[in-house]
Amino acid sequence: MADLSVADEDIDQEADRIIRESLDLDKPVSFFLYAGAGSGKTRSLVGAVQHVLTKSGRRLSLSRQKIGVITYTNAARDEIKHRLEYDPRVEVSTIHAFAWSLIEGRTEDIRAWVTSELTRRVAELSDAVAGTKNRATKTYQERVRSLESKRRRLEQLPSVNKFIYSPTGDNRTRDALNHSEVISMVSQFLSQKPALQRLLVSRFPILLVDESQDTNKHLMEALLAVQASNSADFCLGLIGDTMQRIYTDGKSDLGRGLEGWALPKKVMNHRSAHRVIKLINRVRGDADKQQQVARKDKPEGFVRLFAFSNGVEKERAEALVAARMASITGDEDWTREGRLFKTLTLEHHMAAVRFGFASMFEPIYNADRLQTSLLEGTSAPLRFFGREVLPAVKALQAGDRFALAAVVRNSSPLLDAKRLKGMMAEDQMDQLGKALKGTQELARLLENNPDPSFREVFDVVAKTGLFAIPDALAPFITPDKAEAQFDFGDLPAEFDAFDSEETLAWREMLNSRFWQIEPYDRYVSGLSPFGTHQGVKGLEFPRVMVVMSDEEARGFLFSYDKLFGLKDKSPADLKKEAEGEETGIDRTRRLFYVIASRAEESLALVCYTDSPAGLTSSLVAQGWFEEGEVELPEMS
């Protein structure tokens, strides 16, 4: 435990000293920095980089080397770049951009890898098509179309002169690579190609990985292999907190077996009030014993648990809780208009229900390969609907011709500036006429049906060519229009209709209501009053309401009742525990820690359960709360 007689700003000086000493270009020492919630890890990272630049910046410039910094989000990347004043001796990038920088231009290696993958998937798809008995189904037709596209792409691979990659995932050509391909490829190449290892080490003698617990486990294992083979010339700095791992593809045992590594720890939580920190310390106490201390200048703060029966009207219950928190804390912002508190849920489905986009969200979320881009807001089909189609539809509804013209001019391939420039005047007028017809068809649809489905909107856009159709949605273009609208032989790897889970997910989503795209877009942009662990990690809010409901979350991956001791562990839980594997209780604990630790001043925990009294008694007995901190509100 930290020495409480030391000033707040100095408690973690030892951790910062260890990091600075590790970043010695002559005697590098790799390290794993434990940095819990609110610990100021970005400040430590920036300070360490600045120390290296001061000491060895000229050496880096002369050797044409850089310090590499990998972040998880674009926002984190931009923040670190800003704090470092955009120093050219530091390369800050997201994990996908970093991975692509290592293989960009290695055309023959990429071609060989993609050829092998496509060959394998064509064989799988051929078997699936041959084994289908009912050939009248949409699934069969989509598989046939996907098989043909993959065969064509495989045939055309030899003619690709250069492969491309875009972090937005919007590439629509056969030479494009998607996120998962780039990560898989780099992980394999780093493990098997010593030349790529040498390239990495020569370019980046120091590589710092932020949020390392959520870095893809295969890539992380490859980076650890690089470090093990080059420890005399290469410093790998991992920064993170295993309790805050939220993605299932992260390395679950990160931090183990790091012989010879430095293991500094930051113990100060600069974010939260004393009572909040006491709770989150208790949350993780049964897992890894890591504990934090609060700043002396922080208030005591407030934590309350409100337990309700599953059958209550949740909107009313949560409004009642907000009113109680205003009374308890004396903070009227709990009840002011505009929702000045943040409601966080463990499960995205719960936020989707509350914000009104559940039926479009759920099928995509349930498809494993679509989940990450859905949550990060990078899914090409959803960006298509949210950033191109939605603005046009809203402009039409508002009768705003200027806004509509701007959307079509900026986004429609019919009015692409480069395309128009090479046309004769009459052809340009023809393109303008097509764009006008497309908007008129869309206006006619909205007039006849103000609440259309995604499919109805999609059909109009695809038929008129008003906007470019993303690859993943190409199988849903009306067959007699498909050849005119889309070249199925020119599909990138991201189009994979054979993965029927994905195809079925998009089909179900297209049958849902179109207007859900607006609240979804606000949600992934951080503009919603609701959020989840993935959307708010790294953020903080003065007032936080955490909503917990196994019934709503459907208890698939998480279980509050088990975490809180209301339900016994299942035989499967006990078996996994015995084998050292992760359980649903472990996942629930981690994600609860992430969302509860967002609170700066006051934290309201709202739990829906079959046994409200049993829940409160259990948590008081376990020392999570005092008697006066739990309530069983009556709903009249």
Question: What span, in angstroms and rounded, lies between the C-alpha atoms of 453 and 451?
Answer: 7
Residues 194 and 80 in one domain: yes
Residues 260 and 284 in one domain: no
Question: What span, in angstroms and rounded, lies between the C-alpha atoms of 502 and 485?
Answer: 22
Residues 92 and 241 in one domain: yes
Among residues of the chain, what percentage have pLDDT more than 90?
45
Residues 18 and 97 in one domain: yes
Specify whether the CB–CB gap between 307 and 629 falls below 8 A: no
Q: List the CATH number of the domain containing 623.
A: 3.40.50
pLDDT at 347: 67
Would residue 185 count as lying in a domain?
Answer: no
Q: What is the enclosing helix (H) or strand (E) of 91?
A: strand 90-94
pLDDT at 420: 67
Question: Is residue 152's pLDDT more than 90?
Answer: no
Question: What span, in angstroms and rounded, lies between the C-alpha atoms of 588 and 574?
Answer: 16
Q: Which of 484, 514, 544 is the last residue of a domain?
A: 514
Residues 117 and 157 in one domain: yes
Q: What are phi and psi of 170, to 5 degrees?
A: -95, 5
Residues 46 and 58 in one domain: yes
State the pairing for strand pair 599-609/541-549: parallel
Question: Is residue 273's pLDDT more than 70?
Answer: yes
Average pLDDT of 374-382? 83
Question: What span, in angstroms and rounded, lies between the C-alpha atoms of 537 and 71?
Answer: 13
pLDDT digits (tens, 9 = 90+) for 524-566: 876 655 555 444 555 788 999 999 887 776 655 678 788 888 8
Question: Is residue 482's pLDDT more than 70?
Answer: no
pLDDT at 327: 97
pLDDT digits (tens, 9 = 90+) for 575-630: 888 887 888 888 888 888 988 999 999 999 999 999 999 999 999 999 999 999 99
Would residue 167 count as lying in a domain?
Answer: no
Q: Which of 269, 289, 318 is the last residue of a domain?
A: 269
pLDDT at 625: 95
Helices (H), 193-339: 194-203, 217-229, 274-285, 314-329
Would residue 448 count as lying in a domain?
Answer: yes
Would residue 206 count as lying in a domain?
Answer: yes
Would residue 627 count as lying in a domain?
Answer: yes
Average pLDDT of 518-525? 85
pLDDT at 282: 94
Q: Which residue has the higher pLDDT, 246 or 546?
A: 546
Would residue 168 count as lying in a domain?
Answer: no
pLDDT digits (tens, 9 = 90+) for 27-83: 999 999 998 889 988 899 999 999 999 999 999 999 999 999 998 777 788 999 999
222, with CB counted inside 10 A (0-12, 13-18, 19+), is: buried
Would residue 505 count as lying in a domain?
Answer: yes
Average pLDDT of 321-339? 93
Domain count of the fold of the chain: 4
Question: What span, in angstroms and rounded, lies between the C-alpha atoms of 461 and 442?
Answer: 8
Would residue 519 count as lying in a domain?
Answer: no
Model confidence, pTM: 0.76
Residues 380 and 239 in one domain: no
| Domain extent for 157 | 107-162
If phi > 0 it is left, if psi is from -120 to 50 it is alpha, else beta; for residue 577 that is alpha
pLDDT digits (tens, 9 = 90+) for 169-198: 444 566 778 777 899 999 999 999 999 999
| CA 523 from centroid of its chain's CA atoms | 12
Residues 425 and 537 in one domain: no
Q: Which residue has the higher pLDDT, 612 or 377?
A: 612
The DSSP code sequence of 195-230 is HHHHHHHHH-SEEEETTGGGSBHHHHHHHHHHHHHS
Split at pLDDT 50, 70, 90, the class of 573 is confident
Q: Which residue has the higher pLDDT, 174 or 289?
A: 289
